[in-house]
Structure 1
């Protein structure tokens, strides 16, 4: 994947409730076990998503979209949708509240953490868009899913940053993580805007 901005795409995958969930799991009673289960769900979701979107992209190419016209139309529609999301979050920034289900993650066990990683990365709209982009690029260049390993690895690494911080700086992390979690939860509107604009740049780049 030489012409994809792997790191920005991976950052976009984790921007929003995804990274907030990772931070919340560090404050759970069994932070290491819960976080590892979350990472397992993230890995499975991203690998499966890229595999499916690559297959879809290959089907479009085989169906006569070799010049990528359909892909371009989809990209422009995505840009319009993402700009609308950014505008909505800015206009409603004073009233937007974080999803209520985020609070339930504070008491989650490994099973729920795995499901959360699987569903957040597999079904969240912005993540689906990113994986469609990756799959379309792989299909266009005739590459296999194995070529997406830098993207998959970067996404999992970013998801693992709260856990790595906890393991490396345990005492400081125990003090800092709840504050970081609370700030990101309260400013979810800002994170959504940044993620949307970042992906618009990636599409138009």
Structure 2
């Protein structure tokens, strides 16, 4: 497995209401503070989720692979990852027709930093697509004997993508107000296609590992 290929799944982590919320917050009344709080909540949720799944897979492999069954356990984890990726493709495909953001997102224009933090945390800890992505990433890295800290670049890239609306705001100031809605609309309509392509790439890599 190419370790860099795992980083591609960071796109799937932010596709959907995650990046749409980031765009709304970047054009909100307290754009900078709320966006930073949102990133902090998302980062905390991602760190918790990835860590829990990493150690869960580590315990499973340590329990079942302690007597010369290491390779068999690693393959079992790969099969679990494969099943999760297939389920993730179904989830992303099922959400493709959500062409309009949920009504609650309109309230983000006046969101407080505390609300933004809670929203970031909940979106990343409770969304089935993000949970499935974290399972796939943690399982893939653990099955290839990658240490826990290898999860951190994935999380960092996820947060970088999520911070793009804020970075656009900081770079272009008020001119970003006209750009961000267009970014939001494009992401709302096409992010599922990008996600499916990324999942398919990673799916191919997992299958090739299983066929070795």
Q: Name the CA distance, whole Å, in 1 between partners of 2:144 and 2:57.
A: 10
Offset of residue 28 of structure 1:
0.6
Q: 1:172 aligns with which of 175, 181, 194?
A: 175
Offset of residue 146 of structure 1:
1.6
- Gaps spanning 5+ residues in structure 2: where? 206-212
Q: Name the CA distance, whole Å, in 2 between partners of 1:170 and 1:158.
A: 19
- Gaps spanning 5+ residues in structure 1: where? none
1:71 correspondence with 2:77: yes
| Residues 48 and 83 (structure 1), Cα distance of their counterparts in 2 relative to 1, 3 Å cut | closer
Partners of 1:16 and 1:195 within 8 A in 2:
no
Offset of residue 84 of structure 1:
3.2
Q: Name the CA distance, whole Å, in 2 between partners of 1:159 and 1:118.
A: 13
Offset of residue 203 of structure 1:
2.4
| Residues 165 and 99 (structure 1), Cα distance of their counterparts in 2 relative to 1, 3 Å cut | same
Secondary structure of 1:39's partner? helix
Q: Name the CA distance, whole Å, in 1 between partners of 2:90 and 2:9.
A: 20
Q: Name the CA distance, whole Å, in 2 between partners of 1:192 and 1:86.
A: 6
1:203 correspondence with 2:209: no
Count of matched residue pairs? 199
1:58 correspondence with 2:83: no
TM-score, normalised relative to structure 2: 0.81
Q: Name the CA distance, whole Å, in 1 between partners of 2:51 and 2:184.
A: 32
How does 1:154-193 map onto structure 2 within 5 Å? 154-185=157-188, 187=189, 190-193=190-193
Q: Which residue of 2 is the match for residue 138 of structure 1?
A: 141
1:153 correspondence with 2:162: no
Secondary structure of 1:169's partner? helix
TM-score, normalised relative to structure 1: 0.84
